[in-house]
Structure 1
Amino acid sequence: MQKMNGHRIFWFSICLLLMTMLAACSANESVEKKETQQNGDSGYDKVVVHNMGHTVTYTEPPKRAVALNQHATEIMLALGLQDSMVGTAYLDDQILPKYQDAYKKVPVLAKEYPSKEVFLAAEPDFAYAGWKSAFTEKSLGTVQELEESGIKTYVQESSNKTGPTLEDVNNDIENIGRIFHVEAKATEVINQMKKEIEDTTKQIGTVEKPLNVFVYDSGEDKPFTAANNYLTHLIKMAGGKNIFDDIPKGWADVSWEEVVNRNPDVIVIIDYGDTTVKQKQELLLSKTELADVPAIKNKRFIILPLSAGAEGIRAPLALKTLAEGLYPDKFN
């Protein structure tokens, strides 16, 4: 009997110990959950982002963001982040109509990059630029300087590399989604873009011989053109071939003689700035050396806003514009 009682006491002690351990684990989990919630209203976990050679750690979503180029602004608006924005700047043209109402809620700091004084007066805790030119000593300050002032930064990686693809753009959108803890919305935006792009590529179908495309940005004595950049990627998807895709950088000055030698079938005119599309067309048509180029003889021009050619959410729109211009019969 005494042996039996000893066994009971032993097992009772074991059960009591297990219950104590479980209670402690439960309490620890509650503390961890509470700490996570305190780290952000919706359980924001620490986010580490590697961007343009810099590593930035976020312990909460930015609350006072400034977007410094149009494609950065439109990505923010597409993700529904207008309430977390205290400024935008440097629009190339009009914001997409579907985001106009959201855009009106955000102060416009400047026509181009704001001065340091105007930028800092907005008291930002985050600055998102399309181009790395935003963060220099001559503009808003270097990434290091801004971080020392409590301002974290993000530069659109896809806009600052040679030969970017849609996947690179998607990676940028995903990073912004992670930083602001709107990953589900970022996935939704990316999936919608993929669907629209797929619809257009199906309509294009198989292209046996891609049309030669010359992208005219600007320049009278020498044309400034797209080389191995994002627009070249979109042109290829649309069934064309950028005649200067062999130049190993994003944009380049070339010669009119070389344009003639490469014999474009179609010319894409980039619409932006003070020079109108009509003025650009008149210049191209007045160049006697271009008279026998198929694109000029047939007056085959595609007008593409600069914003559509930037690495942002306009990829489906840009692709469809290019495809309809290259192969109008497939879209009638």
Structure 2
Amino acid sequence: MSHKPITAIAIAALACLGSAALAETDYPLTIENCGQSVTFETAPRNAVALGQNSAEIMLLLGLEDRMAATAFWPSSVLPEVAEANEEVEVLTVEFPTLESVLSVQPDFVAAMLTTLLGPDSKVAKRSDFEDLGIPTYLAPSACTTTLDANDAYGSRDKLWTMDLLYKEIEDLARIFDVAERGETLIADFKSREAALREQFTENENLSFLFWFSSPSPADDAYLGGGNGPSGYIADILGGANAITTEADWPAVGWEGIMAADPTVFVVAQVDRNRWDLDTAENKIEFLTSDPTVSQMEAVHEGRIVTMSGAAMNPSSRTLYGAEQVAEQLKELDLP
């Protein structure tokens, strides 16, 4: 299946053509977000996006002229918003410091993960900004995880769905007073989601294992958990996640991976260059050359596909990742 993603320019144009215009945002606007009320006196003009998903949603909504900076980019920006992204400062592709965020004088901070904005964040608590009069927003996908002291990324007791993303797009569109653009973007995603559902029927013999990265071949691998976006991708493509743990990002040893015995290996391309195994190329080299791992059926039969690492985070990229894997599945000899 081939789908040409809608661009931010097209979203703005289509929104202008809407026959029944959505109401403009009435300020002050108060929304409920992750258990707290957040009030906006006016639409943000100098926003900071902490995390690739928060940034790309803003860019897809055509808000680059209202963005001061972004941070935390595991993968390259979506091609259709790459030009717009060049207008926005990137503080770092890793975790920024609170000082660096404040240096661009934000009037709004949105984040995709609790590790970027939360009680145990590597960057800041929400109160660090709100005490300065800067409203914050945390992605609904992050709010639905259960955190504990041993797992900064949390776990999910039910499957992540695109409904959480649609809520995020709707909220951000209201905050920035571009509700029609948000509605257009959501409609595009829903259409693409439905197309995948129609194309792939349930296959009880189909399982996927999603490998994000590893510090080294000797270390445990960070995988996409059973109920996270990787589980959603497996489900929409008619299969199941071979890793059933509720943790969003379980670290699993190779004995456990071999025991999971997936039908298809999905290896992530992670562009941050933190570890050698961030790249899909190096992952595939390890899988096919290791004397033991190379004997796994999925590897031996060449059932290895690649996907952007950003798709394994709960984000707009998840649907792009599902489409990316869907195209490659057509080339595989599946049981």
TM-score normalised by the shorter chain: which range applies?
A: 0.7 to 0.9
**Cα distance in 1 for residues equivalent to 2:266 and 2:57:** 25
**Cα distance in 2 for residues equivalent to 1:139 and 1:222:** 22
**Cα distance in 2 for residues equivalent to 1:258 and 1:43:** 51
> Residue 250 of structure 1 aligns to a residue in which SS?
coil
**Cα distance in 2 for residues equivalent to 1:277 and 1:329:** 18
> What is the correspondence of 1:107-186 to structure 2 with a 5 Å cutoff?
107-135=89-117, 139-159=122-142, 161=145, 162=156, 163-186=159-182
**Cα distance in 2 for residues equivalent to 1:215 and 1:244:** 8
Gaps of 5+ in 1: 1-41
Change in Cα spacing, 1:121 to 1:292, as seen in structure 2 (3 Å) is closer
Match of 2:211 in 1: 216
Query: Is the Cα contact below 8 Å between 1:268 and 1:303 reproduced in 2?
Result: yes
Query: Is the Cα contact below 8 Å between 1:211 and 1:239 reproduced in 2?
Result: yes
Q: Which moved more, 1:236-245 or 1:114-123?
A: 114-123
Match of 2:12 in 1: none
What is the one-letter code of the residue matched to 2:321? A
**Cα distance in 2 for residues equivalent to 1:293 and 1:159:** 34
Q: 1:298 Cα shift?
A: 0.8
1:286 lines up with 2:289 in the alignment: yes
Gaps of 5+ in 2: 1-23, 146-155
Match of 2:327 in 1: 324
1:103 lines up with 2:85 in the alignment: yes
1:67 to 30, 38, 49: 49
Change in Cα spacing, 1:208 to 1:143, as seen in structure 2 (3 Å) is closer
What is the one-letter code of the residue matched to 2:243? F
**Cα distance in 2 for residues equivalent to 1:234 and 1:46:** 38
Query: Is the Cα contact below 8 Å between 1:235 and 1:322 reproduced in 2?
Result: no
**Cα distance in 1 for residues equivalent to 2:94 and 2:54:** 13
> Residue 68 of structure 2 aligns to a residue in which SS?
strand
TM-score normalised by the chain length of structure 1:
0.80
Percent identity of equivalent pairs: 27
Relative to its length, the structure with more helix (as a share) is 1
> Residue 303 of structure 1 aligns to a residue in which SS?
strand
What is the one-letter code of the residue matched to 2:258? V
> What is the alpha-carbon root mean square deviation over aligned residues?
2.2
Q: 1:259 Cα shift?
A: 2.2
Match of 1:187 in 2: 183
Change in Cα spacing, 1:138 to 1:202, as seen in structure 2 (3 Å) is closer
Change in Cα spacing, 1:207 to 1:140, as seen in structure 2 (3 Å) is closer
Change in Cα spacing, 1:111 to 1:292, as seen in structure 2 (3 Å) is closer
Count of equivalent residues: 287
